[in-house]
Amino acid sequence: MNYHWNWAIFRELSPDGVHTYMDTLLAGLWWTLASALAAWAMALLLGVAVGAARTLPGALPRRLASAYVELFRNIPLLVQMFLWFFVLPELLPRSAGDWLKSLPDAPFFTAVTCLGFFTSARVAVQVAAGIEALSRGQKLAATALGLTLPQTYRFVLLPLGLRIVLPPLTSEFLNIIKNSSVALTIGLMELTASARAVQEFSFQVFEAFTAATLIYVLVNLVVVALMRQIERRAALPGRV
Amino acid sequence: MFADFDFDVIARSWVYLFRVGMLFTLKLTVLAMTGGIVLGTLLALMRLSGLKGVALVAAGYVNLVRSVPLVLVIFWFYFLVPYLAAWVIGAAEPVKVGPFWSALVTFTLFEAAYYCEIMRGGIASVPRGQVWAAQALGMNYWQSMRHIVLPQAFRNMVPVLLTQTIVLFQDVSLVYVLSIPDFVGAASKVAQRDGRLVEMYLFVALVYFVLCLALSRLVQHLQRRFAVA
């Protein structure tokens, strides 16, 4: 086979004349982490709220929460990306739409919004499962102590439920890092897009993709190691 | 805000969208699912085989694939498959592989890692007594797997395997990055040609929503029927 390997390519200057190809990849990594972390914060807030709503006594909040989850789970992420980026600005009043389109870093904000909503639906399912896994006695005891429903959630059900679902939440966080690569379709220069750029300008396909793969694996390992520490400290004593 | 909606663009293009786009998406989903489950089951058997080296190779593959985004894997194989094909048939130059085959290889190998983890759980869920009983009947490893363990593992995991297939069905949309006309790619071509992004993407979202919701309801129904009491 006649593929010419050239691992020194990462030290060569990229077409901007200032940065090396390595810098291109690192900038991509920065955008990947920034969008994943921002979207994760959003997904956690929304997901905990919607997940709690799925366990409320009333039928209406349950049904609304289910509709929310089904909406974001049954449309491919790529299509959701397009809806936020291409469709939303057209549906808003003209001035608001134009403002959205002219935002600097519009792909970044769109990607965060899209990934945040997309992941929040998955977080909500896990959070609801965590709360439902608690014994009914917890809620009954809280009521017997005179806690109101919001207090019961705030002080009893959510702290316990979230500690149970920490492991599945870790894998959702790993997913959000991977899913941020879909944002390259709306022009976010995250890690995969950067690897593509290196490949297009330098023609060193396999070096560029190998480097990106290694970086993803490394990020994965670091996140897993960190989360195992947190999981170990937060694990509920007495549960398997 | 829907006043200047042009429903005509959907009326004009839906036949193309379904006959070309959706057909591609469904074909790829079904073939990659089949290949992925077969390969995934083999990987699961490797991981559980007790042979250190074999288990390590399978675990390495599964963990590597699962830590990399699908988009990157699609790009990887788009460039790698021509070299692989040349290596397989012994050609000197990279072989031109059509987008369909490239995508099929990608999705089969990628999804196999996810199906592997599901089948591993399924095999682990079969009580050990079943294996012992099979051995007591004089079956060898392959016979007991083929006739006793895998059928039960498969049955236990049907709902999860199907849920993963719904994920696969949605993930196929990512071949868009190779400008292949799957359902999303076909819609996007029409959208850009006619300048009707709003109508087309909303239509695409609606179609996916209805199909995936119906499929997941079906899975829930199966789950109740298949549940071992």
CATH value at residue A145: 1.10.3720.10
Instruction: Compare CB distances from A213 to B1, B68, B174 and report the shortest one's residue.
Output: B68
B209: left (phi over 0), alpha (psi -120 to 50) or beta: alpha
Number of domains in chain A: 1
What is the DSSP secondary-structure string of A17-73? SSSBHHHHHHHHHHHHHHHHHHHHHHHHHHHHHHHHHTTSSSHHHHHHHHHHHHHHH
Asked if A1's CB is within 8 angstroms of B86's CB, the reply is yes
Query: Does A3 map to a domain?
Result: no
**Residue B229 confidence class, pLDDT cut points 50, 70, 90:** very low
Question: pLDDT (tens digit, 9 = 90+) per residue, B22-70?
Answer: 999 999 999 999 999 999 999 999 999 889 999 999 999 999 999 999 9
> Which residue(s) pair with A20 in the sheet?
A13
Binding-site residues on chain A for chain B (CB distance < 8 A): 1-3, 70-71, 73-80, 82-83, 86-87, 90-93, 174, 177-182, 184-185, 192, 195-196, 199, 205-206, 209, 212-213, 216-217, 220-221
Look at residues B102, B88, B91 and name the one whose alpha carbon lies nearest to residue A2: B91
Position with higher pLDDT, B95 vs B228? B95
The domains of chain B are located at 8-226
- Are the CB atoms for A217 and B68 separated by under 8 Å? yes
Average pLDDT over residues B166-193: 93
Residue A6 domain-assigned? no
Tell me what pLDDT residue A184 has.
96
Q: Which residues of chain A have pLDDT under 50?
A: none
Nearest 5°: CA angle at A83, between A80 and A87? 180
Distance CA A174, CA A28 (A): 17
By residue range, what is the domain housing residue A164? Answer: 13-234
Q: Is residue A240 part of a domain?
A: no
Q: Which two tokens stand for residue A156?
A: 């009893």
Report the 10 Å Cβ neighbour count for B35. 18
Q: What is the pLDDT of residue A238?
A: 72
CB contacts, 8 Å: A212 with chain B = 72
What's the confidence (pLDDT) of residue A163? 92
CATH match of B8-226 with 2.20.25.90: no
Burial of B37 (0-12, 13-18, 19+ CB in 10 A): buried
pLDDT at residue B95 tops 50? yes
Residue A136 lies inside a defined structural domain of this protein = yes
Instruction: Give domain status of residue A8, yes or no.
Output: no
Q: Looking at residue A1, what is its pLDDT?
A: 56
Angstrom distances, CA of residue A180 to CA of A99, A211, B96, B155, B202: 24, 18, 30, 34, 22
pTM: 0.92
Rounded to the nearest 10 degrees, what angle do helices B23-47 and B99-124 cross at? 40
Please check whether residue A2 lies inside any domain of the structure: no
- A82: nearest CB among B86, B92, B201: B201
